[in-house]
A and B are shown apart, each in its own frame.
Chain A
Amino acid sequence: AQSVTQLGSHVSVSEGALVLLRCNYSSSVPPYLFWYVQYPNQGLQLLLKYLSGSTLVKGINGFEAEFKKSETSFHLTKPSAHMSDAAEYFCAVSEDNDMRFGAGTRLTVKP
């Protein structure tokens, strides 16, 4: 069965700094990979997803992620953090009707 590991339950960056949230997956088949964001007291919303094709995926709010098969990774990045990016971020891998989520990374942005 597929699984996801998110390295770092908490990440803190300064406003304007690079954001890097790490995600590694395991899957027995070519994976479908997702990043979701959860703002306080809200449900999750999709940031971006990789299904096939170009390994660099661009999402909303300036985020992007790169699928690296050799490293089984799908790290999320944003060149310059904004205060509004403070939230919890979940990586997920999907097979059949089964989506498995990582434990989440809480991003704090310092002024």
Chain B
Amino acid sequence: GAGVSQSPSNKVTEKGKDVELRCDPISGHTALYWYRQSLGQGLEFLIYFQGNSAPDKSGLPSDRFSAERTGGSVSTLTIQRTQQEDSAVYLCASSSTGAPTDTQYFGPGTRLTVL
């Protein structure tokens, strides 16, 4: 597709359940980022993938959060045993090379609500 897509657009789950959020980056982009946007706050960096390199997981808030990127394209963010504080909008972005000068292109986000 022409832009970054994310699915689902909305996810409501019960506390303690696992959820998977999907991101399809722009074709050919080697860098992929996950961010969390909580109400009234800025974007919190979660994880960064660059090509075949080991991901930068320094932003993951707990070991309940994990992500993978298969074949250098699609990425899945998994949250295990969800908690109410996990409720937020999860944004995915991609950039062409991951260089600090690159523009990041964002998807529309997945709004996660944990009841």
Contacts and interface: CB of A to CB of B under 8 A. Distances in A.
B42 A43 contact: no
Interface string B36-79: 00001111010010100000100000000000000000000000
B39 to A, nearest CB: 11
What range describes how many residues of B lie at the interface? 20 to 34
B31 A97 contact: yes
A46 B103 contact: yes
A94 B99 CA distance: 9
A44 B106 contact: yes
Contacts of A101: 35, 42-43
Contact of A104 (B31, B42, B106): B42
A90 interface: yes
B34 to A, nearest CB: 12
Contacts of B48: 97-98
16 contacts: A9-B40, A42-B108, A43-B108, A43-B109, A44-B43, A44-B104, A46-B104, A51-B101, A94-B101, A95-B100, A97-B31, A97-B98, A99-B100, A101-B43, A102-B42, A103-B42
Interface of A: 6, 9, 32, 34, 36, 41-46, 49, 51, 90, 94-104
Given A32-B100, A34-B103, A45-B105, 18 more contacts: A6-B42, A9-B40, A32-B101, A41-B108, A43-B4, A43-B108, A43-B109, A46-B104, A49-B103, A51-B101, A96-B100, A97-B31, A97-B56, A97-B98, A98-B100, A99-B100, A101-B35, A103-B40
